């Protein structure tokens, strides 16, 4: 393969983790090159108001915040490029990366911050009302619906955790579960907590038929899988908690991952199973998945890369 260019520190992905890694790497003189990927700015670009990121006393729109991140990374000297990494070869250092299925680059160190994508139900109203009452993060957006009735769909531990979180701030939580009680994936402890919370109503054997509303969510229509009966429930928000998919497919076979595709890192570091390749943000974090924790892990990845490259030079 012909290598078009050699890069000292390559960053793949441009959410809070990627941009923070870029800021630190640039200040450390690593001359980072960052490829923004399929969704420049990451998941925050489809978020409306962000109120829980420190430093924004009055809150900030998600896309605006990512513009700030990008500008800061650029000001520090990061070479920010449009482009999608389509293939990698981590068999030997320097590592090789294909961009846009067109050309190959080599890099001494690679920071992966490709994030994760929320899984969606795939109904038209869900996408149309996304950001207008439909959300895939109750911890991020539940606060905007405090005191109101909301719905959540999902059957795993995350869905239960988010339903319990919502129950503390919302008047009622309508939880939609596709299977019966015996088919719920969540741990018994989480199921018991949900069932014993008085303002959570669980609808077993039920699927979302339609999210109702023109410009914002006004309700949800659910269908009972056993009877076929349709029920409309007035709600102000609809939360999807059916899981996230880490954007890690191109790294399969090169890096150690868990059974769901999250890249494994050495605890307390950003180091992957390949020396000189680091992972930060939601592609390696299935627990917290917050902008601030992603940014923190981006900082860790840049510091780890700086140490690695420093040792390489001696």
Active site residues: 137, 140-141
The H-or-E segment that residue 174 falls in is strand 172-176
Question: How far apart, in whole angstroms, are the C-alpha atoms of residue 98 and residue 106?
Answer: 9
Token match 């260019």: residue?
5
CA dihedral for 246, 44, 10, 285, sign (positive or negative): negative
Question: How far apart, in whole angstroms, are the C-alpha atoms of residue 159 and residue 156?
Answer: 5
Please give the C-alpha separations between residue 54 and each of 73, 293, 295, in angstroms, as whole numbers.
Answer: 18, 11, 11
Q: In this structure, what token pair is assigned to residue 257?
A: 């991952």
DSSP helix/strand/coil, 310 = helix
> 216 φ, ψ to 5°?
-150, 160
272 strand-pairing partners: none
Question: How far apart, in whole angstroms, are the C-alpha atoms of residue 153 and residue 158?
Answer: 11
């Amino acid at each position: 393969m012909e290598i078009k260019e050699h890069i000292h520190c390559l960053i793949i992905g441009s959410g809070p983790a990627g941009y923070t890694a870029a800021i630190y790497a640039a200040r450390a003189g690593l001359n980072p090159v960052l490829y923004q990927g399929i969704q420049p700015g990451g998941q925050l670009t489809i978020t409306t108001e962000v109120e829980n990121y420190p430093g924004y006393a009055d809150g900030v729109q998600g896309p605006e915040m990512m513009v700030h991140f990008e500008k800061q990374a650029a000001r520090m000297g990061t070479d920010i490029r449009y482009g999608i990494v389509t293939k990698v070869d981590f068999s030997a250092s320097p590592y090789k990366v294909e961009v846009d299925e067109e050309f190959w680059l080599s890099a001494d160190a690679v920071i992966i911050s490709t994030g994760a994508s929320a899984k969606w139900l795939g109904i038209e109203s869900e996408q149309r009302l996304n950001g207008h009452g439909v959300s895939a993060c109750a911890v991020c957006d539940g606060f905007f619906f405090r005191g109101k009735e909301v719905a959540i769909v999902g059957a795993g531990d995350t869905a239960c955790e988010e339903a319990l979180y919502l129950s503390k701030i919302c008047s009622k939580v309508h939880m939609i579960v596709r299977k019966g009680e015996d088919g719920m994936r969540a741990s018994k402890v989480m199921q018991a907590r949900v069932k014993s919370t008085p303002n959570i109503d669980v609808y077993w054997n039920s699927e979302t038929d339609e999210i109702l509303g023109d410009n914002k969510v006004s309700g949800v229509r659910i269908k009972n899988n056993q009877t076929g009966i349709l029920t409309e429930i007035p709600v102000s928000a609809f939360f999807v908690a059916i899981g996230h998919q880490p954007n890690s497919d191109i790294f399969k076979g090169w890096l150690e991952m868990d059974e769901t595709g999250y890249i494994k890192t050495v605890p307390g570091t950003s180091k992957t199973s390949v020396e000189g390749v680091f992972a930060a943000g939601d592609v390696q974090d299935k627990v917290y998945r917050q902008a601030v924790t992603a940014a923190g892990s981006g900082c860790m990845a840049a510091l780890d890369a700086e140490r690695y490259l420093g040792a390489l030079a001696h």
